[in-house]
């Protein structure tokens, strides 16, 4: 573990930003530029795919593919991001597990607010099942908003009477649009990326006037997780969304769900993206891969 690596990433994340609320176009362009700097591992190939009505990026290992499928949901506050911006994460999970991944290009707000993204993720899972893929060989995974989708999709899947996937892996998931976690205040200023105001800006686009007190918007405080598959929640101590993970883990334990709460010190939101630069990122991805290979059954 390297204090210098963590300090470098923190400083990089704190570079000055434009004053005022940025436009959707500016947010999306800035995120594309940020994620283009991340290291995508060798040993993968990508191809265009479709799951239900939505396009997806299929990410496969070049050598030694194992039977198993990751359905991946990219981050971006439900407003920005794409399968391409998440490729460092999906690529690293694929190379570490040997599983194929489908990274879904779900619809984004404000053009398509809640619940469009969840409709798309459920349709994608249904398409995998309809193709003959066994649910015990599928895991949901995602980062940030996509980590939230890995949980809310399971809620919607259960309500639809579909079989549950084998596991969930969520990197720094966003799980509470009520923004009532203590870390929203205790980590203010420590988090190099987010403020309460910036999260309110994008959150309003996604909710489009809906009350955040809904289990599909704030599962960390409202969801019944009965019957959920095993979950791995990874987060860093330097993020305002930390308590989204800690509170969901508590709800999971109360519902009798196997859950691993994996908190890394002094790292920011979705620190796993810095694989190849930050030792803690590679170590966390190794733990995620072990969790997945232990739970996915061919």
Are 75 and 268 within 8 A, CB to CB? Answer: no
Q: Let me know if 111 is a catalytic residue.
A: no
Q: Please pick, among 88, 103, 150, 239, the residue that the annotation labels catalytic.
A: 239
- Which of 144, 183, 218, 245 is flagged as catalytic? 144
Of 88, 183, 269, 273, the catalytic one is 269
C-alpha closest to that of 13 among 277, 223, 261, 233: 277
The DSSP call for residue 135 is G
Cis peptide bond prior to 53, omega within 30° of 0: no
Is 269 annotated in the active site? yes
Residues 38, 13 contacting (CB under 8 angstroms): no
Structural contact between residues 100 and 70, judged by C-beta atoms closer than 8 angstroms: yes
Q: Are 278 and 265 in contact (CB under 8 A)?
A: no
Q: How many residues does the chain have?
A: 298
4 is catalytic: no
Closest CA to 237 of 261, 264, 262: 264
β-bridge pairing 44-51 and 54-61: antiparallel
Are the CB atoms for 37 and 87 separated by under 8 Å?
Answer: no
User: Looking at the annotation, which residues are catalytic?
Assistant: 144, 239, 269
């Amino acid at each position: 573990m390297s204090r210098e690596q963590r300090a470098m990433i923190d400083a990089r994340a704190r570079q000055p930003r434009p004053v005022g609320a940025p436009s959707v176009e500016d947010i999306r362009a800035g995120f594309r530029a940020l994620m283009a700097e991340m290291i995508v591992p060798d040993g993968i190939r990508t191809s265009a795919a479709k799951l239900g009505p939505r396009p997806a990026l299929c990410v496969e290992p070049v050598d030694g593919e194992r039977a198993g499928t990751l359905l991946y949901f990219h981050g971006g506050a439900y407003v920005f991001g794409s399968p391409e911006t998440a490729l460092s994460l999906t690529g690293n999970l694929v190379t570490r597990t040997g599983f194929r991944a489908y990274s879904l290009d779900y619809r984004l707000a404000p053009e398509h607010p809640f619940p469009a993204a969840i409709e798309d993720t459920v349709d994608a899972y249904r398409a995998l099942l309809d193709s003959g893929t066994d649910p015990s060989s599928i895991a949901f995974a995602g980062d940030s908003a996509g980590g939230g989708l890995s949980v809310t999709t399971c809620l919607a899947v259960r309500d639809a009477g579909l079989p549950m996937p084998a596991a969930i892996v969520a990197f720094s998931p966003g799980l509470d649009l009520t923004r009532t976690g203590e870390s929203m205040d205790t980590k203010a200023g420590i988090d190099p990326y987010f403020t309460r105001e910036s999260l309110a800006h994008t959150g309003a686009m996604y909710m489009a006037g809906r009350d955040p007190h809904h289990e599909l918007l704030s599962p960390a405080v409202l969801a019944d997780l009965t019957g959920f598959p095993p979950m791995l929640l990874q987060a860093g101590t330097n993020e305002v969304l930390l308590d989204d993970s800690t509170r969901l883990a508590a709800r999971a334990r109360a519902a009798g769900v196997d859950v691993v709460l994996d908190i890394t010190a002094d790292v920011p939101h979705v620190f796993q993206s810095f694989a190849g630069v930050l030792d803690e990122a590679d170590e966390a991805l190794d733990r995620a891969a072990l969790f997945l290979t232990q739970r996915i059954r061919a």
